[in-house]
Structure 1
Amino acid sequence: MVEASHRYRGGPSKHKLHYRKEVEIRTTLQELLLYLIFLINLCILTFGMVNTHMYYFNKVISSLFLDTSVPGDERTNFKSICSITDFWKFMEGPLLEGLYWDSWYNNQKLYNLRNSSRIHYENILLGVPRVRQLKVRNNTCKVHSSFQALMSECYGKYTSENEDLSDFGIKSGTDWTHSTSNTNSPWHWGFVGVYQNGGYIFTLSKSKSETKNKFTDLRLNSWITRGTRVIFIDFSLYNANVNLFCIVRFCKVSRGTGLILATYLSSKQEIQRAEPMKKWKEKLEKRYYSTELQDDYQPVTQQEFHKLFLYVVAVEKELEYISLKLNRVMRKCSALQH
Structure 2
Amino acid sequence: MILPLIFLLASLLQHYGAEAESSHVSKFLLPSVKEKNGVQDSAQEKVLTVSGEGMVHSPDFPHTYPRNTVLVWRLVAASNMRIQLTFDERFGLEDPEDGICKYDFVEIEDPTEKTLLGRWCGSQPGTESHKSKGNQIIIRFISDEYFPSEPGFCIHYSPLPVSISEPEVPALPPPSLQGVEELSEAVAGLSTVEEVMKYLEPERWQLDMEELYKPTWQVLGKSFILNKKARGGADLNLLREEVRLYSCTPRNYSVSLREELKRTDVIFWPSCLLVKRCGGNCACCSHHCYDCQCVPARVAKKYHEVLLLKHRGGGRGLLKSMTDVPLEHHEECSCVCKDD
In which range does the TM-score fall when normalised by the shorter chain?
A: under 0.3
Question: With structure 2 as the length reference, what TM-score do the two structures score?
Answer: 0.23
Higher share of residues assigned strand: 2
- Larger relative contact order, structure 1 or 2 (CA cutoff 8 Å, min sep 6): 1
Question: With structure 1 as the length reference, what TM-score do the two structures score?
Answer: 0.23
Higher share of residues assigned helix: 1
